[in-house]
Structures are given as C-alpha cells and as structure tokens.
C-alpha cells in the first residue's frame, strides 16, 4: 500500500545523514559536507570570501571562523574546511566569533586600497558588504599600504588590480580546477604574494570571465563592463544564453536601456553558474552600430531603406509569385515561439521545404535515440565522444564533462579524427581518418578493455558533427552502430546552434530529407525560386561554398530576416530587421531538450521586431491570418499544438532549471553509408571544425571579441610537415577536386597523420571552397606556392 | 638558449622518473636550470613546464616563492648578510655597511665585474653564532668587519674557489641512485611492497 511505502521512506535512515546544531537550531546535513554549506541552508549567514560552493574549499581567507564545541570547550574553526559530524554543536553568533571575524576583516583590509568609489565592484562587493556587516568599522593600521601598478591586463578581456586583491584563491582555483587552464597562479611570497600570469603569456582561457564574476573584491574586472554602470543602476532579468545549444542560465543586465553585462546563474542541471567568454561578452553585438534597424528593399544593385508596410507587402508579393517554390532556411537563432510562428507561416503559405540547420549538423532523427541529459552524461561511467571539440563549440558542456572525469565519475572514450580539448582527459582516444569512423567504432567496441568499461553501466554518446569536411552519413552510421550494439546507451546530441533543437521540434525540421543542402540544390535546379533566410547566413555557414553561390545565383528572390547585413543578407531583395537576444521574450530549447525562458530586457533597436511577430505580419500580408498578437499567446498556442509540449506547464519551463521536453522524431533508419575511397598517399584527408571565436556575426559585432579570432591556417602532423618539406608558417596551396586556397601551414601534434586540419569560418582563406556536399570525405593536396 | 641542454634534459628525465607525479620534480629541475644558466629565465621555466606537464604560470608561481631562485643574473658569489634580530643586535648592520662600502654596491646589487652580489637576508638559523653571513649558502660565523674585508679580498683573489663553488652549483658530484636503492615512481597510495632498500625490516 502506498501509505506503508511512504512510511518506509520516512523511517529509512540515510547512512550519510547527520544532524548538527547551529546556534541552537538542529540542521540536517550529509557526511562530508562542510559546516558552511550546512549553515547556508539556515538563516545564519557565515561571512566568507574564498569559499565557493562549486569549488573545493581551501581555507584561504579565514573569514568564516565559527565556534565548534569540543571536549576542551569551544574551539574556533574555519567552517569551510571543517566537515560536519553527527551531534556537532556550532555557534556563529558569539562574541568570540564576532571578534575573530572582525580581526580577520581588519587584516584583509590592511592592504586593501578602499578605492570603492572608482571600483566596478562597489555596490555588489562581498568585501564591501561584509566589511559593513562583519567588520570592526575602524582599522588600527596607519602604515603605508602595498602599492602595485593599477590594473594590468592579464588577457584581452580581464584586468587585474593587485592592490585590491585579498588572495582568496578563487580565480586561480577556478582556472586550475574548473577550467583546466592554470594560466594564472600565486607568485612570490609573503607580503609580495600576488596573482600573475607567466610573463607575456596572457590568461587566454575561454572561461576567463568567470573569474571576474567570482572575484569577491574588485581585483578582476572585465574589459567590456569597466566603468559602464554601477550595480545599483542595473536592471536584471534571468534568461538563457542562446549563443550555443548548452543553454546556460544567465542574468541579463542593462543600464539605461542598453545591455551591459551577462552574469552566470547557477542552474544545477546545466551550467553551475559558469559561462564561456563568448556567451558572456557577446552582448555587445546587440547594441552594435552595425545592426539593421529598418526594413530594406532592393532597388537595382542597392538595398534602400523603406517602411515595414512596404517591405512586408514586397515580401508577400515575392512569396506569392513563387507559387509554392519557397524554402525557409534557418530559425535556430531565435526562440521556440519564433520558430513555431514561422513554421505556422510556412504551413499556411505552403512553403515547399524548410530546415533550421545549415548542412553542418546532424539529421533530426538523432533525437529518436534514447536521449540523455547533461547530468545523465556526467554521471554515466562511460561517455563516448563522437562529437566536435566540445571546448570550442559547447564550452560549458566541456566544463561539465571535464568535471565528471576529474571527479572520477566518468571515463571518456573518444573516437575522433582530431585531438580535442577533452583528449587529455580521455581514458581512451581512438584516432581515425575521416570516413573510417565505422571501422574505428567497430574496433573500439571489439576491444576487451573497452567492452568491460562499457558494461559498467549507462553509456552516454555525445554525438555531433565531428568534422565539417565529411558527410554527416559517416557520423550517423557510426552512431547507429554504437546505439545498436551497446547496452544502456543514450545519446546527447551535440548540435551547436542556439535553439536548433527547439526549431527542429516545433516545426522547422526538414521533411522527406529535404534538408538545407537539398534546398540549395533545388534552388540551383529551379525547384526553389524564393529563399527565406531566417537569421541564417548560408554563404558563410554551409560547408559547400560553391553550392551556396550557385543557389544564390539561380534563386529568383531572397527574403532575409536578420539583425545584421551579413554576406547572405546583402543578396536579399527584402531585408526585415529582427529583434536580438535580450530584446524579446520567449522560450528556448537546449541540446538536452530542456525548455527554459528567454527574457526581454531592452527595447528592440530601431524598428526591429521579434521573428514571431514578423511571421504573423507576413502571414497577414499574404492574406492568411494567424490571430495572435502577444508572445504569451504564441507561447500558449505553441505549447498546446505541439503534442510533446502539451502536457507540460508553461510555468515550469519558465523556472530556472526549465523542463526537459521529449522531442518527437521519426524513427531511426540506418543511414546509407557512402563508400569511402582510399586516399592517395600524397594526399591529405581534410578535417574541419569550428573554433570558439570565429567570424560568426555575434562575435565580430562584439568589440571585445572580434580580435580574439585566429586567421585561417592548415595544420598537419609535424612528421607530415617534414615529409612535404615545408617549414612551419610557410604559405601553401591546398587544393581539392572542387577548389584551392592559399594559407599558411603549421605543425600540430593534435592532427592525425595523413590528415590536414583547417578551422572553419576564420578570416582568410575559406576552407569551404574545398568541400563538396556530395562527397563523403574531402581529400586535399598541399603544395608550395 | 636557456632551455636545458641535452645532458641536463637526460638528467631531468632521470629526476622526473624518481617521482610518482612529474610535477613533484619541479624544485630539483629549477635548481638544475639555475646551475646551468646562473639564474632562472623565462625560457627555462617554459621548458620545465613542458618537461613536467604543467603550465609556465605554475612553474613561475612555484619558482618565485623561493628566495634561492634568482630571476636576474647574479654574481659568481652571493653574499647574504643576516639582518634578523640576533645578528642585528650583534652588529650585522655594520657588516652590511662595510660590505656595501667595500664592494661599491648597495644590498641587492652586483659588482660591475659580475663577481659578487650582496644581499640582505632574513634569519639564517645560526643565531648562536651571530652575526653570521653566507657566501653561496656557506656559513661564516661570528663575523667581524675585518672578516668582511678579508672575505671580499679572498674572493677577489680567487683564494676560496676550492672551498666555495660558483653560485648555482648543485654539487661537485652528481647523485646517482642505483636501481636497487631507488623507490621508483610509485605513488604512495599505489605502493604495495616495501622499497628494496628496506631489506625486509619492519616498518617504522
């Protein structure tokens, strides 16, 4: 009976549960937990600087002193380093505790410059706040304070003011323990102890912004936010970052109707409070001067500004005159509501084809496998990586997976044709040439060691497009084999675009295999006459540059809905300016299928409008009414019209951790494996993947990030470089059957012998000139110029 | 240039192999590097970082903690004059002034000929023999101003070259640990048997 069961549950004793007393009140805790963590669940706040719940304690600042009763009376202990014990009696409010905490604060302030009026942290500073709440109020120190050069840049994004630093070890611990980039360290000794980088070697971590957020004083400040606002001037709403598909929770902060900062919010199933620098600092693109803020229509060779009424009627006209030969490309940039409204429009206006991806992802049937969450992946004994470099493409997922390995929960089996950021954490790395992942997978599964590891329990495959220079069919065939032969397996799709899963779920998935590549091919053959670009830039993003160029030349009209005049938008006949992230409300779906909210914080620039509103207006102009006027109505209709969202309560999705909604996808059928020819020994097999900082508009339109991107180069194994007789940095000509590019060559031991790695979408020579959509792999020659 | 030379790389690898975790070898390797170059250069730290698999910043953090690692060239002889309490009471300030006068450099400086670096030091743990000083970490006890004069004279005349090797010299004879005396690179938690040199004796 159910009552008995619940009774059993109530009396079942957790062997790890302990009870302690804090200030006379009983608190339940778990063995191994520190006193300060238990106290955080009560009303008794213990002051602290170095303690951070997502990092190991170090007892560096000594601010969290409390009294614990012992056999010889009360003893002062640091509560962040003292584990709870059953029956422990803790007091945080005695005179002795108060005196000790005041003493520590007086010492911490002995060298602190107290330049709060000119400090970015002033107003939200733990040192300032706790000096008021737990400090002595006055200092006995009259001596000269330490002096250092005022802020020194330790990277392009972060400044360090050593005078303000209280040496809490948070930033250095974060760099080492969480990010795995120990590029900052305590140096020197005693009174001269200071945090520094190695001379002339910047703190070039993808996660450096987190150190600014967790710095408990104003020692670390972020270049994009310096002197932009005071904390008490900031308005804030909790939202979800849509830069990539991890969907980190963020606080979007604005001052005077301009976005000035994103802060990470601790969402337990997703980002643990961390953000990557690209996601953190690309708010600058929203207020970029390059935004398209008014509608444009084509007048001969140029695009001229016009009114919404005119632009919408022109767009409607173009769609009508294409008599159904219309295709929609994109939709992964916006919210679920945006994608859903556009899917409605595409249905009503009978668009022939649609795809939210750009030939650089995986087919939507990847969602038909048993699905894993990030938490499931990071608690599984085995994670199989059949994915792009997570550190470059899904950085916070990289942090979570790295944590799972470092804490000994998971082992990584990586099957890759290029070393990734996780290779050094991998238990096994199986390298293969592109086109041979199926052989590699079979060999991996046949290995007795690996088979024993896989048998240990749930296995999660993180699956994505590991290289853009080969057919997705290669990856799907390998994935099919793993899913078909490993027990307790589930898949975490590592598709990269912000809301790609949402867009594919709410109606922008291609039907009958008419994906982006097929749409472009149809444009070439005249089967598509009008192309609608919904925040997409195929001219820069689709791997086959030649195909896109031919499609753009053949297609009669292009209608672009975008925030920027990117390369593809410049070819459009009608440009409709779209509201950016932070300028619209809605929901987004991350790579797990987790639906969370996206919040509007600032007014859309110029006359730009959210995508969903444009869809409804355009439907109206086409004489097809979608009778919805507010995003809440769109959301409600979307939630009721999509079966898998139907049962879910919108309100749940709008809470911090959101809700995982299953994605309906057509059942998997095994992919036709394209036979891969053997490579000539004088050729290289091409591998191409994305870097965190590339030519993406969100990055190039952000002043602080634009200069962080590398320029294009080809990387080969050092022995291969020797074999072709080139020196590191020499200019070479890389040619495939479809084109040739000139770029510098570098040696890299991350590259598998016989392959050549060219990063995707960087400034300089474009690797897409070498790639053909109809070839399973791309073989290239490298010659001197 | 200031990376370890081939012979020292071979030695470095031998030293690294004595530890269960490569980065444990960092301090001996820093000494080795200082012996080779006279001081610790940025290139050397970057090289050691490669050898033990940490970042240059971590090597810098470790190296800069220790007074005995120098980041600027120093003289062939480094004279450390103790200035802590016992020595101060016994007249170390006068010794320092005397040495500064005699050498023509302030504490922290090196003579133009590169022979002698003069430094003020904190307690050298020889308070019963105050005032004391060290030349390349070799003690001189109960030093008088006249002793300072003669020390500097002797150093300049090369009379002490047998007794005091140049700064940075680790030892005149390289340490060699025979295979049967080494403990091997086994992590303490992974050790299952007593080391060979234990000779079956009971654990302490």
Q: Report phi then psi at A264, rounded to 5.
A: -70, 140
Closest approach of B195 to chain A, Cα-based (Å)? 29
Query: Would B99 be classed as within a structural domain?
Result: yes
Query: Would B199 be classed as within a structural domain?
Result: no
- For residue range A663-722, what is the model confidence (pLDDT) as tens digits? 887 765 655 666 787 888 889 999 999 999 999 999 999 999 999 999 999 999 999 999
Predicted pLDDT of residue B2 = 87
Predicted pLDDT of residue A659 = 87
Structure tokens given for A498: 């912000």
Closest approach of B41 to chain A, Cα-based (Å)? 11
Count of domains in chain B?
A: 2
From B46, B56, B64, residue closest to A188, measured CB to CB: B64
How far apart CA A166 and CA A169 sit, in angstroms, is: 9
Reported CATH class of domain A364-493? alpha beta
Tell me the chain A residues in contact with residue B55 when contact means C-beta distances shorter than 8 Å: 181-183, 185, 198
Predicted pLDDT of residue A8 = 47
Query: Would B174 be classed as within a structural domain?
Result: no
Written as one string, the DSSP assignment of A480-545 is: HHHHHHSTTEEEEE---BTTHHHHIIIIIS-STT--HHHHHHHHHHTS--EEEEES--HHHHSS-H
- For residue range B96-148, what is the model confidence (pLDDT) as tens digits? 999 999 999 999 999 999 999 999 999 999 999 999 999 999 999 999 999 99
What chain A residue is nearest to B57 in terms of C-alpha separation?
A198
Pairing of strands A594-598, A714-716: unpaired
- State whether CATH 2.40.40.20 applies to domain A684-784: yes
- For residue range A550-568, what is the model confidence (pLDDT) as tens digits? 999 999 999 999 999 999 9
The span from the first CA to the last CA of chain A, in angstroms, equals: 81
Tell me the chain B residues in contact with residue A182 when contact means C-beta distances shorter than 8 Å: 54-55, 57-58
Predicted pLDDT of residue B197 = 66
Q: What one-character DSSP code corresponds to residue B201?
A: P
What chain B residue is nearest to A196 in terms of C-alpha separation?
B57
Predicted pLDDT of residue A759 = 97
Q: Residue ranges per domain, chain A?
A: 2-108, 296-361+499-660, 364-493, 684-784
From A182, A189, A200, residue closest to B58, measured CB to CB: A182
Task: Kindly determine whether residue A187 and residue B42, on different chains, have CB atoms separated by under 8 Å.
Answer: no
Which DSSP helix (H) or strand (E) runs through A158? strand A158-160
How far apart CA A658 and CA A650 sit, in angstroms, is: 9
Task: Kindly determine whether residue B57 and residue A185, on different chains, have CB atoms separated by under 8 Å.
Answer: yes
Angle (CA) A205 A206 A209, round 5°: 85
How far apart CA A382 and CA A602 sit, in angstroms, is: 43
Contact B11, B174 (CB under 8 A): yes
How far apart CA B52 and CA A337 sit, in angstroms, is: 52
Reported pTM: 0.94
Q: Is residue A83 classed exposed, middle or buried when 0-12, 13-18 and 19+ CB atoms within 10 A define those classes?
A: middle
* Mean pLDDT estimate for chain A: 93
Written as one string, the DSSP assignment of A703-769 is: TTTGGGPPBP-EEE-HHHHHHTT--TT-EEEEE-SS-EEEEEEEE-TTBPTTEEE--SS-BSS-GGG
How far apart CA A358 and CA A550 sit, in angstroms, is: 16
Query: Would B113 be classed as within a structural domain?
Result: yes
How far apart CA A363 and CA A463 sit, in angstroms, is: 11
- For residue range A610-662, what is the model confidence (pLDDT) as tens digits? 999 999 999 999 999 999 999 999 998 998 887 777 655 667 777 888 888 88
Residues of B with CB under 8 A from a CB of A: 42, 45-46, 54-61, 64-67
How far apart CA A514 and CA A324 sit, in angstroms, is: 15
Query: Would B35 be classed as within a structural domain?
Result: yes
Sign of CA dihedral A125, A127, A132, A134: positive
Cα–Cα separations (whole angstroms), residue A606 to A291, A330, A701: 9, 23, 17
Task: Answer whether residue A442 shows pLDDT above 60.
Answer: yes
Task: Kindly determine whether residue B57 and residue A200, on different chains, have CB atoms separated by under 8 Å.
Answer: no
- Mean per-residue pLDDT for A77-101? 96
How far apart CA A149 and CA B51 sit, in angstroms, is: 33
Residues whose CB is less than 8 angstroms from the CB of residue A713 and which lie 6 or more positions away in sequence, other chains included: A743, A744, A745, A746, A758, A759, A764
For tokens 């005078």, name the residue.
Answer: A163
Predicted pLDDT of residue B173 = 72
Task: Kindly determine whether residue A198 and residue B45, on different chains, have CB atoms separated by under 8 Å.
Answer: yes
For tokens 């619940």, name the residue.
Answer: A6
Structure tokens given for A158: 């972060």
Does residue B148 sit in the same domain as residue B81?
Answer: yes
Q: CATH number for the domain including B56? A: 1.10.10.1590
Closest approach of B45 to chain A, Cα-based (Å)? 9
Q: How confident is the model at residue A1 (pLDDT cuts 50, 70, 90)?
A: very low
Contact A157, A224 (CB under 8 A): yes
Cα–Cα separations (whole angstroms), residue B82 to A511, B137, B148: 83, 12, 13
CATH architecture of the domain with range A2-108: Roll (3.10)
Peptide bond into A597 cis (omega under 30): no
From A185, A199, A200, residue closest to B61, measured CB to CB: A185
How far apart CA A77 and CA A89 sit, in angstroms, is: 12
A404-410 own/partner pairs: CB under 8 Å, 24+ apart: A404/A377, A404/A378, A404/A379, A406/A177, A406/A180, A409/A378, A409/A379, A409/A381, A410/A377, A410/A378, A410/A379, A410/A380, A410/A381, A410/A382, A410/A383
Residues of A with CB under 8 A from a CB of B: 181-189, 196-201
For tokens 């972060």, name the residue.
Answer: A158
Task: Kindly determine whether residue B57 and residue A186, on different chains, have CB atoms separated by under 8 Å.
Answer: no
Q: Pick from B100, B11, B92: which is nearest to B51 by CA?
A: B11
Give the rounded distance of the alpha carbon of B53 from its chain centre. Answer: 23
Closest approach of A189 to chain B, Cα-based (Å)? 5
Q: What one-character DSSP code corresponds to residue A175?
A: I
Tell me the chain B residues in contact with residue A183 when contact means C-beta distances shorter than 8 Å: 55, 57
So what's the ipTM on this one? 0.90
How far apart CA A29 and CA A439 sit, in angstroms, is: 50
Q: How confident is the model at residue A5 (pLDDT cuts 50, 70, 90)?
A: very low
Task: Answer whether residue B178 shows pLDDT above 90.
Answer: no
Size of interface A-B (CB pairs under 8 A): 41
For tokens 């992964």, name the residue.
Answer: A332
- Mean per-residue pLDDT for A290-303? 96
Does residue B21 sit in the same domain as residue B85?
Answer: no
What chain A residue is nearest to B43 in terms of C-alpha separation?
A199
Structure tokens given for B88: 């101060």
Does residue B52 sit in the same domain as residue B87?
Answer: no
- Mean per-residue pLDDT for A366-384? 96
Contact A63, A106 (CB under 8 A): no
Task: Kindly determine whether residue A198 and residue B57, on different chains, have CB atoms separated by under 8 Å.
Answer: yes
Task: Kindly determine whether residue B60 and residue A187, on different chains, have CB atoms separated by under 8 Å.
Answer: yes
Number of Cβ within a 10 Å radius of residue A300: 6
Give the rounded distance of the alpha carbon of A286 from its chain centre. Answer: 18
Structure tokens given for A616: 């409804």
Query: Would B163 be classed as within a structural domain?
Result: no
What chain B residue is nearest to A182 in terms of C-alpha separation?
B55
Predicted pLDDT of residue A320 = 96
* Mean pLDDT estimate for chain B: 90
Q: What percentage of chain A exceeds 70 in pLDDT?
A: 96
Q: CATH number for the domain including B139? A: 3.40.30.10
Residues whose CB is less than 8 angstroms from the CB of residue A495 and which lie 6 or more positions away in sequence, other chains included: A245, A357, A361, A362, A366, A464, A465, A501, A591
From B60, B65, B67, residue closest to A198, measured CB to CB: B60
How far apart CA A131 and CA A536 sit, in angstroms, is: 50
Contact A161, A125 (CB under 8 A): no
Q: Specify the higher pLDDT residue, A131 or B189.
A: A131
- For residue range A465-523, what is the model confidence (pLDDT) as tens digits? 999 998 888 899 999 999 999 999 999 999 999 999 999 999 999 988 899 999 999 99
Task: Kindly determine whether residue B54 and residue A182, on different chains, have CB atoms separated by under 8 Å.
Answer: yes
What chain A residue is nearest to B56 in terms of C-alpha separation?
A198
Q: Mutate which of B61, B69, B71, B189 to test chain A, going by most A C-beta atoms within 10 A?
A: B61
Task: Kindly determine whether residue B59 and residue A200, on different chains, have CB atoms separated by under 8 Å.
Answer: no
Pairing of strands A89-91, A65-70: antiparallel
Predicted pLDDT of residue A7 = 45
Contact A493, A665 (CB under 8 A): no
Q: Pick from A522, A419, A468: which is nearest to A770 by CA?
A: A468
Q: Which of A4-13, A37-46, A108-117 has the lowest mean pLDDT?
A: A4-13
What chain A residue is nearest to B41 in terms of C-alpha separation?
A199
Does residue B86 sit in the same domain as residue B145?
Answer: yes
Structural domain of B114: 77-157
Does residue B88 sit in the same domain as residue B134?
Answer: yes
Cα–Cα separations (whole angstroms), residue A37 to A40, A57, A359, A774: 5, 11, 47, 56
Cα–Cα separations (whole angstroms), residue B63 to A40, A190, B3, B40, B66: 38, 14, 15, 8, 6
Task: Kindly determine whether residue A182 and residue B57, on different chains, have CB atoms separated by under 8 Å.
Answer: yes
Reported CATH class of domain A296-361+499-660? alpha beta
Q: Specify the higher pLDDT residue, B177 or A414.
A: A414
Task: Answer whether residue A108 shows pLDDT above 90.
Answer: yes
Predicted pLDDT of residue A670 = 56
Does residue B110 sit in the same domain as residue B142?
Answer: yes
Q: Pick from A777, A594, A599: which is nearest to A688 by CA?
A: A777
* Number of residues in chain A: 785
């Amino acid at each position: 009976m159910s009552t008995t069961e619940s009774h059993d549950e109530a009396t079942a004793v957790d062997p790890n549960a302990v009870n302690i007393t804090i200030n006379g009140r009983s608190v339940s805790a778990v063995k191994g937990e520190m006193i300060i963590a238990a106290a955080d669940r009560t009303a008794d706040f213990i002051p602290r600087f170095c303690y951070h719940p997502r990092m190991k304690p170090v007892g560096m600042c000594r601010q969290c002193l409390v009294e614990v009763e012992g056999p010889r009376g009360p003893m002062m202990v640091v509560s962040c380093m003292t584990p709870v014990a059953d029956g422990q009696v803790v007091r945080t409010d005695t005179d002795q505790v108060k005196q000790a905490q005041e003493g520590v604060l007086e010492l911490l302030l002995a060298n602190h410059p107290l330049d709060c009026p000119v400090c970015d942290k002033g107003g939200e500073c733990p040192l300032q706040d706790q000096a008021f709440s737990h400090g002595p109020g006055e200092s006995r120190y009259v001596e000269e304070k330490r002096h250092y050069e005022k802020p020194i840049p330790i990277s392009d994004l972060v400044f360090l003011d050593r005078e303000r630093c209280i040496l809490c070890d948070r930033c250095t611990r974060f760099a080492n323990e969480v990010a795995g980039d120990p590029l900052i360290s305590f140096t020197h000794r005693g009174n001269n102890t200071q945090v520094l980088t190695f001379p002339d070697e910047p703190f070039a971590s993808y996660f450096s912004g987190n150190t600014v957020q967790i710095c408990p004083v104003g020692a670390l400040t972020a270049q994009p936010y310096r002197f932009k606002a005071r904390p008490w001037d900031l308005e804030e709403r909790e939202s979800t970052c849509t830069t990539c598909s991890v969907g980190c929770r963020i606080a979007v902060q604005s001052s005077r109707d301009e976005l000035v900062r994103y802060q990470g919010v601790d969402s337990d199933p997703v980002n643990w409070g961390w953000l990557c620098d690209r996601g953190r600092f690309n708010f600058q693109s929203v207020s970029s001067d390059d935004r398209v803020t008014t509608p444009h229509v084509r007048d001969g060779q140029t695009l001229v500004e016009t009114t919404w009424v005119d632009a919408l009627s022109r767009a409607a006209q173009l769609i009508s005159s294409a008599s159904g030969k219309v295709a929609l490309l994109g939709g992964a940039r916006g919210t679920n509501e945006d994608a859903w409204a556009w899917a409605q429009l595409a249905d009503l206006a009978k668009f022939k084809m649609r795809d939210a991806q750009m030939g650089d992802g995986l087919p939507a049937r990847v969602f038909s496998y048993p699905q894993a969450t990030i938490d499931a992946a990071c608690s599984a004994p085995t994670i199989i990586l059949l994915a792009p470099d997570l550190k470059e493409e899904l950085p916070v997922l990289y942090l979570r997976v790295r944590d799972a390995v470092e804490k000994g929960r998971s082992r990584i089996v990586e099957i890759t044709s290029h070393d990734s950021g996780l290779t050094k954490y991998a238990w096994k790395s199986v390298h293969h040439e592109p086109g041979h992942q199926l052989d590699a997978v079979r060999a991996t599964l046949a290995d007795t060691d690996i088979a024993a590891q896989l048998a240990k329990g749930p296995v999660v495959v993180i699956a994505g497009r590991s290289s853009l220079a080969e057919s997705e069919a290669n990856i799907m065939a390998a994935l099919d084999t793993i899913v078909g032969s490993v027990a307790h397996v589930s898949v975490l799709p590592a598709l990269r675009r912000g809301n790609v899963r949402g867009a594919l779920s709410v109606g922008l998935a291609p039907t009958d295999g008419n994906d982006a590549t097929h749409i472009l091919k149809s444009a070439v053959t005249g089967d598509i006459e009008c192309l609608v670009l919904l925040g997409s830039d195929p001219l820069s993003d689709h791997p086959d540059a030649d195909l896109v160029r031919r499609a753009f030349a053949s297609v009669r009209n292009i209608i672009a809905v975008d925030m920027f005049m990117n390369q593809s938008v410049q070819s459009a006949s009608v440009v409709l300016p779209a509201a950016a992230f932070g300028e619209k409300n809605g929901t987004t779906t991350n790579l797990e299928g987790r639906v969370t909210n996206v919040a509007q914080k600032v007014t859309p620039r110029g006359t730009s409008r959210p995508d969903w509103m444009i869809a409804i207006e355009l439907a109206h102009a086409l004489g097809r009414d979608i009778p919805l006027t507010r995003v809440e109505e769109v959301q409600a209709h979307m939630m009721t019209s999509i079966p898998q969202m139907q049962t879910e309560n919108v309100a749940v999705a709008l809470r911090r951790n959101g809700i995982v909604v299953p994605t309906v996808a057509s059942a998997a059928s095994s992919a036709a494996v394209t036979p891969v020819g053997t490579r000539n020994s004088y050729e290289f097999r091409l591998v191409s993947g994305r870097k965190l900082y590339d030519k993406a508009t969100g990055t190039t339109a952000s002043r602080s990030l634009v200069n962080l991107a590398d320029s294009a180069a080809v990387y080969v194994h050092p022995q291969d470089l020797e074999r072709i007789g080139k020196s590191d940095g020499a200019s070479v000509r890389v040619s495939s059957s479809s084109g040739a590019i000139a770029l510098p060559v570098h040696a890299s031991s991350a590259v598998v012998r016989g392959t050549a790695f060219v990063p995707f979408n960087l400034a300089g020579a474009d690797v897409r000139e070498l790639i053909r959509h109809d070839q399973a792999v791309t073989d290239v020659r490298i010659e001197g110029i | 240039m200031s990376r370890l030379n081939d012979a020292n790389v071979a030695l470095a690898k031998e030293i690294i192999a004595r530890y269960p975790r490569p980065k444990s070898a960092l301090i001996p390797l820093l000494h080795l590097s200082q012996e080779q170059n006279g001081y610790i250069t940025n290139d050397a730290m970057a090289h050691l970082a490669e050898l033990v698999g940490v970042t240059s910043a971590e090597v810098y953090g470790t190296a800069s903690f220790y007074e005995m690692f120098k980041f600027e060239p120093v003289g062939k002889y480094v004279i450390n004059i103790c200035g802590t309490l016992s020595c101060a009471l016994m007249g170390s300030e006068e010794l320092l002034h005397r040495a500064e006068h005699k050498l023509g450099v302030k504490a922290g400086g090196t003579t133009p000929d590169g022979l002698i670096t003069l430094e003020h030091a904190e307690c050298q743990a020889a308070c019963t023999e105050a005032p004391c000083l060290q030349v390349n970490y070799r003690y001189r006890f109960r030093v008088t101003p006249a002793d300072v004069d003669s020390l500097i004279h002797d150093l300049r005349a090369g009379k002490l070259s047998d007794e005091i090797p140049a700064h940075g010299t680790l030892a005149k004879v390289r340490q060699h640990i025979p295979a049967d005396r080494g403990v091997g690179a086994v992590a303490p938690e992974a050790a299952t048997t007593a080391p060979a040199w234990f000779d079956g004796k009971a654990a302490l």
